Amino acid sequence: LSSIDSFLKIGERIEGEDGIRRRYSPLGQLAGGSMGQIYVARESDLNRKVAFKQIAHKLGEHQGLIRRFVQEVQITAQLDHPNIVPVYGVEATPEGSLGYAMKLINGKTFEDVVKAVRARHAQDERVPVVRELMERLNLFLRVCDAVNYAHSRGVIHRDLKPANIMVGAYGEVYVMDWGLARLLDGPNDQESLDLIAGSSKDSTQLGDAVGTPAYMAPEQARGLNE
């Protein structure tokens, strides 16, 4: 991996009338957690909207988490697959934080898709069951394609769940959030995973057991992350 210092220097800062203008300017927050936020941002060079994931400024002194964030950027950027969200660039923010831009997906998570299907069935709404089943199976197969490709590159996701799968408005499918990804030939990263990011069975947790409890493989639940 590249050094953290080299990443903090990445990203153009164009001088404007009001001082430093970021290459990726936040327009509004999409999601947030204890480790950082995801914004809708505008890329100044190409005048397009992107998603910008930024690590929380308060974690800037936590070198282990910074290294994990840098690894997340590099792993995601190097997994060149139609069903893995593409990374556009990295930028150090004026506040000294670190973030990266990726494709903005206009759609919903697979978790939302499942909830919508359950709601329709709960209301006894007539749905074309066979067609819906085939659509969901096709979506599942594309997720399998992405995971198979990642495994062929020596990468394990470790937090695969419906909330980390995006379904676009035109049927696109993307596996998201490679923040807990493990390189099979890399060093054990357990030392850097000492922040608890969630407490429920459906939220991501870091610690002895890495991942989301409701979706963990048995070896993950036992803390066997080597």
DSSP track, 40-73: EEEETTTTEEEEEEEE-GGGTT-HHHHHHHHHHH
Percent of the chain with pLDDT over 90: 36
pTM: 0.76
In tens, the pLDDT along 56-108 reads 777 766 777 888 888 889 999 999 999 999 999 998 877 777 899 999 999 99
Helix (H) or strand (E) holding 113: helix 110-122
Amino acid at 175: V
In tens, the pLDDT along 136-151 reads 889 999 999 999 999 9
Higher local confidence (pLDDT), 75 or 196: 75
Residue showing tokens 């992107």: 50
Eight-state DSSP code of residue 148: H
In tens, the pLDDT along 43-54 reads 998 999 999 998
159 belongs to the catalytic site:
yes
Higher local confidence (pLDDT), 10 or 154: 154
Residue 209, pLDDT > 60, answer: no
Higher local confidence (pLDDT), 2 or 64: 64
Closest by alpha carbon to 84, among 99, 103, 67, 71? 103
Active-site residue, from 5, 80, 112, 159: 159
